[in-house]
């Protein structure tokens, strides 16, 4: 309900930003991308475009740093590019507060503990975002995400929303130092080792699933018992 009200109230702003994107970057106005939602299920996330489609002589897209100009940086720093994501909240694929929805390709790279961020719907903002946003590393972000998932409260969500407004107004933590966009998550040896050893989490195992089936559906390797 809150997201629907926000969409209605912000509709003039949405219209103006859409027009500005169309004039500056051309069509399409919206950026669509598959992200991992609750239980790792993919959904389409909507944002305003912030980067051009400039290409090199061979036809390949230029690096993000060369396609993101002052206009796109402004949209990102003010979070105006995220306004269309309110539709994801209205449609039920996202919540206002929760772990940020990340690329689907990251899911197999999570350690079992990091994968707990998939137990709830992703959010437009979250504990990690008000604790440093993109200025903190992946391990710290995931630590905040898991902490949020394990201690969700109604008043905690409201505190996150108020802190989000403050951070947006101050334009804090938009990017990591020296990076135009967020650094790509590539996993690590520790996360892979945990995946190899961890059993299927019983909180994610459905009654009709075998342990092997649960492990397979949650990106965990299936082990055969020797002998």
- In tens, the pLDDT along 182-224 reads 788 988 544 555 555 555 555 454 444 455 556 555 555 544 4
pLDDT score of 224:
43
In a domain, residue 208? The reply is no
Domain contains 94: yes
C-alpha–C-alpha distance, residues 20 and 52, integer Å: 13
Number of domains making up the chain: 1
Say how many C-beta atoms besides its own lie within 10 A of residue 27's C-beta: 8
As a whole number of angstroms, the distance between CA 193 and CA 202 comes to: 19
Neighbour tally for 209: CB within 10 Å? 15
Q: Is residue 176 part of a domain?
A: yes
Query: What tens digit of pLDDT does each residue of 94-113 get?
Result: 999 999 999 999 999 999 99
Is residue 213 included in any domain, yes or no? no
**Domain of 81, in residue numbers:** 2-187
CA distances from 7 to 145, 159, 204, 208 (A): 26, 21, 33, 40
pTM for this entry: 0.77
Cβ 37 vs Cβ 101: under 8 Å? yes
Residue 220 lies in a domain: no
Cα–Cα distance between 142 and 117 in angstroms, integer?
Answer: 8
Tokens encoding 94: 């996202």
In a domain, 226, yes or no: no
In a domain, 227, yes or no: no
Print pLDDT tens along the chain (227 aa): 788 898 999 999 999 999 999 999 999 999 999 999 999 999 999 999 999 998 888 888 888 888 999 999 999 989 999 999 999 999 999 999 999 999 999 999 999 999 999 999 999 999 999 998 778 889 999 999 999 999 999 999 999 999 999 988 887 666 555 555 678 898 854 455 555 555 555 545 444 445 555 655 555 554 443 43
State the pLDDT at residue 3: 85
Q: Is residue 106 part of a domain?
A: yes
């Amino acid at each position: 309900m809150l997201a629907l009200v926000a969409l209605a109230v912000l509709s003039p702003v949405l219209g103006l930003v859409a027009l500005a994107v169309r004039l500056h970057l051309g069509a399409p106005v919206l950026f669509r991308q598959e992200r991992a939602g609750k239980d790792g299920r993919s959904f389409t996330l909507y944002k305003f475009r912030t980067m051009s489609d400039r290409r090199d002589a061979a036809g390949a897209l230029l690096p993000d740093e060369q396609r993101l100009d002052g206009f796109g940086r402004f949209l990102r720093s003010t979070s105006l590019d995220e306004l269309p994501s309110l539709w994801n909240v209205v449609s039920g694929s996202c919540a206002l507060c929760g772990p940020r929805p990340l690329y689907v390709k990251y899911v197999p790279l999570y350690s079992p503990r990091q994968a707990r961020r998939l137990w709830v719907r992703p959010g437009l903002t979250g504990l990690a975002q008000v604790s440093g946003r993109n200025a903190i590393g992946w391990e710290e972000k995931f630590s905040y995400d898991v902490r949020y998932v394990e201690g969700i409260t109604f008043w905690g969500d409201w505190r996150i929303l108020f802190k989000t407004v403050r951070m947006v107004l101050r334009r804090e933590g938009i990017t990591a130092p020296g990076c135009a966009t967020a650094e790509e998550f590539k996993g690590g040896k520790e996360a892979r080792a945990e995946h190899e050893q961890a059993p299927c989490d019983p909180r994610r195992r459905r009654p009709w699933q075998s342990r092997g089936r649960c492990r397979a559906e949650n990106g965990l390797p299936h082990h055969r018992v020797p002998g």
